[in-house]
Amino acid sequence: MRYAVLAAGKRVRPILCLASCELVGGKENAAMPAACAVEMIHTMSLIKDDLPCMDNDDLRRGKPTTHKVYGEGVAILSGGALLSLAFEHMTTAEISPEKMVWSVRELARSIGTRGLVAGQAKDISSEGLDLNKVGLEHLEFIHVHKTAVLLETAAVLGAIIGGGTNEEIESVRKFARCIGLLFQVVDDILDETKSSEELGKTAGKDQLLGKLTYPKLMGLEKSKEFVKRLTRDARQHLQGFSSEKVAPLVALTNFIANRNN
């Protein structure tokens, strides 16, 4: 569990959670358990994605994948333990029991058949499909569920814990949805244009597995234009907040759009 979680990840989800909490006037400390919980769940999904019966990947976050080091059995058990530790750790947050129950429910929803698992299931059943027969909708279903939902949940949890109004939570949710899609489009572009060394994970993997990607469906240039549009849209959802409070999330958006790994 330590090996997988403490590897050099970008920590986009926890940062998003903490920054959303501060955006609505909350304190970073209050959102820390939720931020860690979301990173544990993200790591669990990476461990599973890399398994031989899934993407069968050897490299993650610049290191050999968990099952390569500890074997499949321990890797699968680590995933389950990280998932339950996420919920246990969430309950240590110093927030009202009402907010805690709300947060637990939001977190649980992002993992199962309406979240991560839906995306992963669709993903493994899509390998080798004829790209002429599946469209953008199919691709977006996978990405929304595999990536965007947990990013959205990270942000929403931050806003709930930070004491945001319903309207503020809704703005944060819309912002995070753009970020979620943005994150995946950039991921797809990087997989096609960067080396494994630069990425810290196996490059060109999507192509090899016959996976659907944005560059494949709309071409590299149009994908890059899409990145620009999503960046603009994301910022617009933050217009209701003061420019000072918005700064960390704008920086995060730019980081995601311009990252090299």
Chain positions contacting its own copies, by CB under 8 A: 1, 44, 48, 51, 53-54, 71-74, 76-81, 83-85, 87-88, 90-91, 96-98, 100-101, 104-105, 107-109, 111-113, 115-117, 120-121, 124
Q: Contact, 44 vs 13, CB < 8 A?
A: no
Reported for 6-11, long-range contacts at CB under 8 A and 24+ positions apart, including other chains, are 7/60, 7/61, 7/62, 7/63, 8/61, 8/62, 8/200, 9/39, 9/42, 9/43, 9/61, 10/259, 11/39
Q: Which is nearer to its own copies, 73 or 128 (CB)?
A: 73
**Beta carbon of residue 67, minimum distance to its own copies (angstroms, whole number):** 9
**Beta carbon of residue 96, minimum distance to its own copies (angstroms, whole number):** 7
Contacts of 98 (CB under 8 A, 6+ apart): none
**Beta carbon of residue 190, minimum distance to its own copies (angstroms, whole number):** 25
**Beta carbon of residue 167, minimum distance to its own copies (angstroms, whole number):** 23
Q: Which is nearer to its own copies, 87 or 226 (CB)?
A: 87
**Beta carbon of residue 231, minimum distance to its own copies (angstroms, whole number):** 31
In order of 25, 121, 186, the CA distances from 18 in angstroms are 11, 30, 23
Q: Which is nearer to its own copies, 21 or 82 (CB)?
A: 82
- Which of 174, 121, 124 is CA-nearest to residue 148? 174
Q: Which is nearer to its own copies, 44 or 203 (CB)?
A: 44
Q: Which is nearer to its own copies, 52 or 219 (CB)?
A: 52
